[in-house]
């Protein structure tokens, strides 16, 4: 006669198995948003440091920071959504300059309503061009970095064709609506926050947003889960084009005009990648959000100002910003290695 050993929960055929340890809601939140919280803490430290350097810190100083960061923050959103999908776009800066030149060409001698219509048209055009870039990448199979690098040259030439010299004369009402008065930082703050809430939050929670994250996490697994790979890649670039167009319009509002400077686009592209990395978006895709890059854009704006406040040479200030980015990325790599190391 044989006896059967009784089984208990957590066992299989008499052999005990270990159940996963349940995690609390706070631990899950810390794991998902910990990096963003760290960037926010870094921003708070830099802001306090900057305030201590100024004899007075009020609405004008806040507006200088927010309006000066608005373009980079929007461009970081454009780069961020594409990086989350597993790609990279080296043309976002040139796309921004092209949108800036279009709006600077069409907005002069128009009232507020006319400028708003032009802004919508410019964003639609940049979205269409970004869609075309995404379609070329998908159809040709050429890596994103090659196609977007070539697209950056094309867009820089198109910007020069649209506007062969700097131009100003944008409606003052439009400038105040987007960038605010010299003593009113709220419009620029609200535009950054509004784009996050109106465009990014619904996108992230939609089926397309989930598909973008799945595509960046594991393309094969996403395909097996029913994600339309080609369509999702193209739409990720479309979303990036919308954000790039918003950045171009914001640049027009901040400066009151536009100019076809290729160097502006190159610098903006590199800064957008830096903001994305510093903001916690993994370059491998599938990890991160857009709040972190926006906070990182504010940090990148404050660092040179702080260094100049210390009396540093501007080139040394840029060096300090690069060193900080390298250190942050190194820390992120060590944390990721520790998280994935078997216990």
pLDDT (tens, 9 = 90+) of the chain, 343 residues, equals 555 555 445 544 544 555 556 666 665 555 667 788 889 999 999 999 999 999 888 889 899 999 989 999 999 999 999 999 999 999 999 999 999 999 999 999 899 999 999 999 999 999 999 999 999 999 999 999 999 999 999 999 999 999 988 898 899 999 999 998 888 899 999 999 999 999 999 999 999 999 999 999 999 999 998 999 999 999 999 999 999 999 999 999 999 999 998 888 888 998 999 999 889 898 889 999 999 999 999 999 998 888 888 888 777 777 777 787 777 767 766 766 665 565 4
Specify the fold of 57-279+288-340. ABC transporter involved in vitamin B12 uptake, BtuC (1.10.3470)
Please state, in angstroms and rounded to a whole number, the distance separating the CA atoms of residues 76 and 240. 9
Please state, in angstroms and rounded to a whole number, the distance separating the CA atoms of residues 237 and 92. 10
The DSSP string of 222-291 is HHHTT--HHHHHHHHHHHHHHHHHHHHHHHHHHHSEE---HHHHHHHHHHHHHHHHHTT--TTSS---SH
Q: Name the region of 54 (left: φ>0; alpha: ψ -120 to 50; beta: rest).
A: beta
Crossing angle between the packed helical segments 291-309 and 25-53, to the nearest 10 degrees: 30
Q: Which tokens belong to 298? A: 């504010």
CA dihedral (235, 237, 242, 247) in degrees, to 10, reads: 160
Please state, in angstroms and rounded to a whole number, the distance separating the CA atoms of residues 187 and 103. 19
Please give the pLDDT value at position 134: 96
Crossing angle between the packed helical segments 92-106 and 229-255, to the nearest 10 degrees: 50
Please give the pLDDT value at position 12: 47
Instruction: List the chain domain ranges.
Output: 57-279+288-340
């Amino acid at each position: 006669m044989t006896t059967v050993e009784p089984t208990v929960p957590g066992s299989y055929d008499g052999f005990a198995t270990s159940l996963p340890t349940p995690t609390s809601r706070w631990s899950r939140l810390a794991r998902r948003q910990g990096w963003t919280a760290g960037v926010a803490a870094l921003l708070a430290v830099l802001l306090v440091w900057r305030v201590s350097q100024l004899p007075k810190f009020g609405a004008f100083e806040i507006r200088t920071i927010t309006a000066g960061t608005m373009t980079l923050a929007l461009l970081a959103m454009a780069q961020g959504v594409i990086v989350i999908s597993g790609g990279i776009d080296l043309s976002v800066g040139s796309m921004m300059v092209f949108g800036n030149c279009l709006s600077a060409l069409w907005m002069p001698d128009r009232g507020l309503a006319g400028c708003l219509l032009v802004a919508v048209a410019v964003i639609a055009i940049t979205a269409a061009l970004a869609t075309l870039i995404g379609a070329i990448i998908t159809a040709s199979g050429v890596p994103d970095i090659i196609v977007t690098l070539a697209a950056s040259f094309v867009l820089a030439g198109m910007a020069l064709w649209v506007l062969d010299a700097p131009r100003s004369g944008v409606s003052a009402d439009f400038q105040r609506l987007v960038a605010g008065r010299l003593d009113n930082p709220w419009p620029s703050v609200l535009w950054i926050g509004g784009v996050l809430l109106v465009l990014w939050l619904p996108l992230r929670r939609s089926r397309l947003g989930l598909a973008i994250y799945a595509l960046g996490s594991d393309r094969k697994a996403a395909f097996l889960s029913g994600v339309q790979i080609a369509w999702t890649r193209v739409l990720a670039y479309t979303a990036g084009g919308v954000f790039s167009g918003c950045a171009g319009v914001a640049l027009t509002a901040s400066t009151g005009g536009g100019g076809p400077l290729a160097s502006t686009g190159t610098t903006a592209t590199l800064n957008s990648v830096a903001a994305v990395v510093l903001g916690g978006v993994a370059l491998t895709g599938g990890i991160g959000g857009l709040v972190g890059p926006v906070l990182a854009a504010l940090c990148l704006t404050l660092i040179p100002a702080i260094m100049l406040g210390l009396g540093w040479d501007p080139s040394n200030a840029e060096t300090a910003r690069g060193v900080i980015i390298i250190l942050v990325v190194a820390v992120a790599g060590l944390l990721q290695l520790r998280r994935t190391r078997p216990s």
